[in-house]
Each structure stands twice: as structure tokens, then as C-alpha cells.
Amino acid sequence: MQFSEVLKARVSTRDFTDRPVPAEAIGTIAEAALYAPVGMHRYDTLHLSVITDRDVLERIRRCAAAAAGDEKADPLHGAPALIVVSSSQEGTIAGLNVSCLVENMLLAATDAGLANLYVRGAIDAAAKDAALVKTMKVPEGFTPVASVAIGYAASPEAPRETPKNNATKIDFVQ
Ligand SMILES: Cc1cc2nc3c(=O)[nH]c(=O)nc-3n(C[C@H](O)[C@H](O)[C@H](O)COP(=O)(O)O)c2cc1C
């Protein structure tokens, strides 16, 4: 896909089928994160957990559902793969760096024809469960910040003709 086509085709999916994602595709998406800009070259402050283990995904779902007070909630929307980005930094810089990795992966997934979703809320909940964090192979001193859910959309959407965002104003200072 041309880059402009990828930008237009990226869209949040909140209804995944249970069809597994080929390992090679997940690897390509995770690798896309490694091309992202990172403040002060602090690449060592970031970590990826590539999770396809259904039991671990279910534990994350249950943890987030409990935090939301709705045990049936599924903030992962049935996605068969989740790439969690953790950071050893704190505050704004952690979120800024993580978001750069996440966006690269959302675009790489789109380019690979895979549905995707930026998932933060569920990861916020999961990060508070130390045993679960360990199961996610997050290193000591790192905290899960955000993630990308990946899979196949139950009802794929056509690329957008116009941006969904018509609220953010652009001012040109020239
Ligand atoms: C920082 C951030 C956190 C987000 N967290 C979630 C989330 O936890 N769950 C979710 O369903 N969508 C989440 N989203 C996705 C946004 O809701 C979505 O991108 C937005 O509604 C625009 O829709 P689009 O992605 O289809 O363009 C998040 C997006 C960003 C940038």
C-alpha cells in the first residue's frame, strides 16, 4: 500500500474474529515499533510483550472487566493478538514514547491488511496486577502503558474518503 493509503485505511476495530494472526505478520508489526522515534534515544526504556496466549489475553480481559465493574466487558474485543508496550520511564515522556511505537504498529498492521485497535484502558488496569504483569514477561522496573490489539475485523471497513477528525483546527503561521 502507498503510505497515503495506509493513513486513510487505519481505523479502530472493536469486533475481531477469533482467526489467529500469522506469527510472521505479528513479527513484522512488532518490528515496525523499532523504527519509531524515541526521546533522547532512550530505546532501553521500552519493552514489547507480544501476546497470543489465549489464557493470558483472557486474564487481561478479566482484570480490565473487573476494574470497569462489568465482568462481561471485553476491552480487547476478542482480538487474538496483543502487543503491549511497557516503559521504565515515568510521566509524560513515557506516554509520548510509547505512543510513537504504538502508532507505527497500528500503521504496520493496517499495511498488512490486519485490523487493529489502540488499547490503553485495559492495560492501565492490567498494570496494577503484579502477577499478571510478570506473566506478560514485562521486565522488573517497567510498567505496561498501552497496547495494540491485532486480528481480523468481523466487518472490515472501507478506507475513509475524508478524515474522521474535522474538529482539530490547523493554523498556518507564515
Ligand atoms: C492514547 C489513546 C488511547 C486509546 N485507548 C483506547 C482504548 O483503551 N480503547 C479503545 O477502544 N480505543 C482506544 N483508543 C482509540 C480511539 O478511541 C480512536 O483512535 C478514536 O476514536 C478515533 O477513531 P479511529 O481510530 O477509528 O480513527 C485510544 C486512542 C489513543 C490515541
Closest residue by CA, ligand 1 atom 15: 118
Q: How far apart are CA 112 and CA 19, in angstroms?
A: 15
Q: How far apart are CA 13 and CA 114, in angstroms?
A: 10
Query: How close is the Cα of 174 to the center of ligand 1, in Å?
Result: 32
Name residues whose C-beta falls within 8 Å of residue 148's C-beta, 6 or more positions apart in sequence.
Answer: 29, 82, 83, 85, 102, 105, 106, 109, 116, 117, 118, 119
93 closest CA partner among 29, 165, 143: 143
Mean local confidence (pLDDT), 53-61: 98
Q: Ligand 1 atom closest to Cα of 164?
A: 27
Whole-angstrom CA distances from 76 to 37, 117, 160 are 26, 8, 23
Closest residue by CA, ligand 1 atom 21: 12
Cβ 90 vs Cβ 151: under 8 Å: no
pLDDT band at 44 (very low <50, low <70, confident <90, very high): very high
Threshold 0.75, pTM exceeds: yes
pLDDT in tens, 93-115: 999 999 999 999 999 999 999 99
Q: pLDDT averaged over the chain? A: 98
Closest residue by CA, ligand 1 atom 9: 119
Q: How far apart are CA 68 and CA 73, in angstroms?
A: 8
Buried b / exposed e across 30-54, counting CB within 10 Å, b at 16+? bebbeebebeeeeeebbbbbbbbee
User: Domains plus CATH for the chain?
Assistant: 3-151 (3.40.109.10)
pLDDT band at 37 (very low <50, low <70, confident <90, very high): very high
CB hemisphere CA count around 118 (13 angstroms): 14
Closest residue by CA, ligand 1 atom 25: 12
Q: Is 53 helix (H, G, I), strand (E, B) or coil?
A: coil
- The confidence score (pLDDT) of residue 25 equals 98
Q: Which residue ranges have their beta carbon within 6 Å of ligand 1?
A: 11-12, 14, 75, 117-121, 164
Q: How far apart are CA 18 and CA 78, in angstroms?
A: 7
